[in-house]
Structure 1
């Protein structure tokens, strides 16, 4: 009887279910983006002639999800680069649409010769760059400095590039 009295006469406040309308979910997703390792031999063609750049285009499916496309507010692109080469390397990352037109170009990443621990971060606000949501491909162009002397194709030094992307989403209920 005492328990019934306590339950029936306890204090309560009026519940305001309209507070749910003001709730904003803010999930953050981080994923590996791209990774590659280059050695000097990869900068030579089949005739033994050195080329100063290598480019690779890959598909990107990150913005094909409607939830992400409709609610993405910010994107962080980060990279860790190790350059064992005896020359400076420039890495250019471009987001492309279906027609291979650049919708966003990241700041060129310049890695000094022998820099074994370069950290790069670029933040993109989607409101300032809405075309980024049309990205379907990524082009990465790696260019080595032309010092006037040819690299040794048998050199075992490496250029290692690791990157990730962090998506900041905001969605209401």
Structure 2
């Protein structure tokens, strides 16, 4: 009787070709960069410095697996200015020879007692994604606009926070 029951068990043909249709689409979110510059750091030897420049390493794509499977990247930026001066900020992606590949520009209004966050999302796809994959360094150019004089006791700061969301497709 047991032999008869086992002969009627359910089974189906296995389709090993289904592995060819397998596709993963992971999403990674990470901090990109952050800085906070107090107002008094725009003063050097008692004089206002209208332009500040800095660079940092930006070799997100040294891993060939990540570079090969990346389909899109979203960079989110948030700038908070609590200094009573306006600023323009340029974030420049540079290649291995420090040649500019891509620029993100922000006009940041002066602080007037109420918070005014400046936000933007830059989406890198297709041609801009190819430029992003070539980037090795990230430069920051901060230019201070006209306004009341700053001194060593000036209040406030200029703060930038950012994150990156990477969309991969693994087939």
1:59 corresponds in structure 2 to: 57
Task: Compute the TM-score of the two structures, normalised by the length of structure 1.
Answer: 0.86
Cα gap change, 1:23 to 1:87, in 2 (>3 Å): same
Task: Compute the TM-score of the two structures, normalised by the length of structure 2.
Answer: 0.87
Contact 2:43 2:152 in 1 (8 A): yes
Q: How does 1:99-114 map to 2 (within 5 A)?
A: 99-106=97-104, 108-114=105-111
Q: How does 1:1-173 map to 2 (within 5 A)?
A: 2=2, 5-46=4-45, 48-106=46-104, 108-114=105-111, 115-125=115-125, 127-129=126-128, 130-147=130-147, 149-172=148-171
Write the deviation string for residues 55-78 of structure 1: whole angstroms up to 9, x where unpaired: 110011211011111111111111
Structure 2 unpaired stretches of 5+: none
The structural deviation recorded for 1:10 is 2.8
Cα gap change, 1:100 to 1:5, in 2 (>3 Å): farther
Structure 1 unpaired stretches of 5+: none
Contact 1:52 1:146 in 2 (8 A): no
